[in-house]
A and B are shown apart, each in its own frame.
Chain A
Amino acid sequence: MESKNKIWNRMMGIVWEVSYALALMLAAAVICVIVLLVKI
């Protein structure tokens, strides 16, 4: 049971870390669109 919990925690940890990276890319994509739309 303890071992199952450990593996689950590790898997969720990886999911959260990867989600952070993807969220960062998404935010950058939004910024990129804004930069392109705004006339500078």
Chain B
Amino acid sequence: MILRPRAEDIAVIGYYLSRIILGLGLTMLLPLGCAFLCGERGPFLDFLITVEITFVSGLLMMQVCRAVYESGKKKASAYEKSIDSIDPNWMHGMIMVALSWLAAMILGAIPLWLSGHWNSFLDACFDSMSGFATTGLSLAQDLDHLSLTHNLWRHFTMFIGGQGIVVVALSFFVKGFSGAFRMYVGEARDERILPNVINTVRFIWEVSFTYLALGTAALWAVGMKNGMEPGRALFHGACIFMAAFDTGGFAPQSQNMLYYHNYGMEIITAVLMVLGAVNFRLHYHLWTGNRRELLRNIEMRVLFVSILVTFIVTAVGLKTGGSSYASGGFPVLFRKGFYQLLSGHTGTGFMTVYAEQVGKEWSDLALVGMICAMALGGAVSSTTGGIKMLRIGIIAEAFVQDIKKVIFPSRAMVEQKFHHIKEVFLEDKTVRAALMVTLAYIILYGIGALAGMLCGFGFIPSLFESTSAAANVGLSCGITSVGMPAALKVVYIFQMWAGRLEFIAVFTLAGFLLAAIKGK
């Protein structure tokens, strides 16, 4: 028998959700300040309206949930704690996370929609989810004339989403209780760097801000050397950094990275993309003197091999595909082919070619290489999406273990271990967990591909675009456009959301809704 959720459960979820919404409202003060300083009156009003809506809805939800909880407390003496001191359980934490990402999408879309650069609120929601989930697919119209404030917000959503909306909220509003860890886990960050989740969050910010300073300075210098004005170069540098390190893929110009057509920019962003694909826990160990970990860690080894193998497939596909890449030689094949591949594998989505070019000029083999790279993704507890390197490494180790069991004498004890921060013995439950998430991703990629085919697109382009959305990559072969069917936009939004949260929070929300409908 399924039990219907109690009003108190809903009140606790709503209460902490309201605190996350208030945390999100605080982040909107940055573009509001930018609009004020830049004298952009229209964008200032857009963000003023959004900040008001966010704070009013957050505070209203907080009061309603408090009142519901208090009324429940009067009926049942079991609820002696106040709502402020209650510790959310796993179900509360997971549902809060799933709903907070949907709330962020809707609230983050309001200023975009008000700008007039998005055809509909659905299109604005698409870009908002794409930003928070660090995907990079965009339905913006006339991006080259978008205000600085709105452009900053688009990239800032990637910075927030890359670190995690809950991580941001933990920094501001939700601290000092053990339920924080449950919310942190719900956001697909199952690895605690330090024993205390608040210290973990602080370290994530330390890494992000250190690279923000270094990356922005490097991109700023290259931008100025490339002939940009200092202020504009700084703005572009900061935006490109946020999109690169957080493996997002938005860019201030409609031509994406092709706009700059600069070796320096491409090398710096390539380095930043790789850094964004590194596990924050590994960052911690490297930054505290354990540098050998870089060479021994299973994720970094698998990432290295995986990028090179998928690049071989893509390069062969480009060479034999009869496109301009075949005759362009090393500069074209490496610069265009490897950059796109690295961008796809790390889940960034920066493009130095046109989307239509990928769809029309790239051979099926090259696209399959790219699809594999996008599907695999970067490291766990990083800013990337996709299946992730740790899971691929675990599954590979499980294969090796099974082969050893067949080859070795039946009496031999076969124990497989791998190195991830420490030596870890391979257990069945670890393999099962890795396979479950991998299977869920493959199904998600398939759902999007099927949706694309139902809308009239071919199999390979549909799979390419679907994988790009679900693995939070952002590369496009031309399907993502303002004119695509609304149903496909909704499917891609769902894929971006479910892919970013790695399913558990989404499944918990689905179970909760089912219990609310069918429960007794």
Least CB distance from A26 to B in Å reads 11
- Are B307 and A10 touching (Cβ within 8 A)? no
Report chain B residues within 8 Å CB of A12: 289, 291
1/0 per residue, CB under 8 A from B, across A15-34: the answer is: 01110111011011101110
- Are B338 and A32 touching (Cβ within 8 A)? yes
Report chain A residues within 8 Å CB of B337: 32
Report if A32-B333 is in contact (Cβ < 8 Å); known contacts: A10-B287, A20-B294, A21-B270. yes
Report chain A residues within 8 Å CB of B308: 24, 27-28, 31
Complex CA–CA separation, A29 to B267 (angstroms):
13
Report if A9-B275 is in contact (Cβ < 8 Å); known contacts: A25-B270, A33-B330, A35-B319. no
1/0 per residue, CB under 8 A from A, across B254-298: the answer is: 000000000000010011001100100001001111010010000
Residue total for B at the interface (Cβ-Cβ under 8 A): 33
In the complex, B334 has a CB within 8 A of chain A: yes
Complex CA–CA separation, A32 to B283 (angstroms):
29
- Are A35 and B271 touching (Cβ within 8 A)? no
- Are B311 and A28 touching (Cβ within 8 A)? yes
| Majority SS at the chain B contact face | helix
- Closest B residue to A19 by beta carbon equals B294
Report chain A residues within 8 Å CB of B312: 31, 35
Least CB distance from B216 to A in Å reads 15
Least CB distance from A40 to B in Å reads 6
Complex CA–CA separation, A24 to B283 (angstroms):
17
- Closest B residue to A12 by beta carbon equals B291
In the complex, A1 has a CB within 8 A of chain B: no
Complex CA–CA separation, A6 to B345 (angstroms):
32
Interface residues of B in 201-249 (CB under 8 A from A): 210, 214
- Are A28 and B338 touching (Cβ within 8 A)? yes
In the complex, B199 has a CB within 8 A of chain A: no
Residue total for A at the interface (Cβ-Cβ under 8 A): 22
Complex CA–CA separation, A18 to B271 (angstroms):
6
Report if A32-B304 is in contact (Cβ < 8 Å); known contacts: A20-B294, A25-B270. no
- Are A28 and B334 touching (Cβ within 8 A)? yes
Least CB distance from A33 to B in Å reads 6
In the complex, B140 has a CB within 8 A of chain A: no
- Closest A residue to B331 by beta carbon equals A32
- Are A22 and B333 touching (Cβ within 8 A)? no
Q: Which of A9, A17, A36 lies in contact with B294, CB distance below 8 A?
A: A17
Report if A13-B333 is in contact (Cβ < 8 Å); known contacts: A20-B300, A21-B270, A25-B270. no
- Closest A residue to B312 by beta carbon equals A31
Report chain B residues within 8 Å CB of A28: 307-308, 311, 334, 338, 341-342
- Are A22 and B271 touching (Cβ within 8 A)? yes
Report chain A residues within 8 Å CB of B307: 24, 28
Report if A21-B288 is in contact (Cβ < 8 Å); known contacts: A28-B307, A31-B312. no
Least CB distance from A16 to B in Å reads 5
Least CB distance from A32 to B in Å reads 4
Least CB distance from A9 to B in Å reads 5
- Are A9 and B334 touching (Cβ within 8 A)? no
Report chain A residues within 8 Å CB of B342: 24, 28
Complex CA–CA separation, A10 to B271 (angstroms):
17
In the complex, B106 has a CB within 8 A of chain A: no
Complex CA–CA separation, A31 to B315 (angstroms):
9
- Are A13 and B287 touching (Cβ within 8 A)? yes
Complex CA–CA separation, A32 to B334 (angstroms):
6
Report if A17-B275 is in contact (Cβ < 8 Å); known contacts: A10-B210, A24-B304. yes
Interface residues of B in 303-333 (CB under 8 A from A): 304, 307-308, 311-312, 315-316, 319-320, 329-330, 333
Report chain A residues within 8 Å CB of B319: 35-36, 40
Report chain B residues within 8 Å CB of A29: 330, 334, 338
Q: Which of A13, A21, A35 lies in contact with B291, CB distance below 8 A?
A: A13
Closest 7 CB pairs of A and B: A13-B287, A21-B274, A13-B286, A21-B271, A32-B334, A35-B315, A9-B289
- Given contact pairs A17-B275, A21-B270, A28-B311, a sample of 18 additional A-B residue pairs in the complex whose CB atoms are under 8 Å apart: A9-B288, A10-B210, A13-B286, A14-B210, A14-B287, A21-B275, A24-B304, A24-B307, A24-B308, A25-B267, A27-B308, A28-B341, A31-B308, A31-B312, A35-B312, A35-B315, A40-B316, A40-B319
Residue pairs across A and B with Cβ atoms less than 8 A apart, 26 shown, are: A9-B288, A9-B289, A10-B287, A12-B289, A13-B283, A13-B288, A14-B214, A16-B294, A17-B278, A17-B294, A21-B271, A24-B342, A25-B267, A25-B270, A27-B304, A28-B308, A28-B311, A28-B341, A31-B312, A32-B311, A33-B330, A35-B312, A35-B315, A35-B316, A36-B329, A40-B319
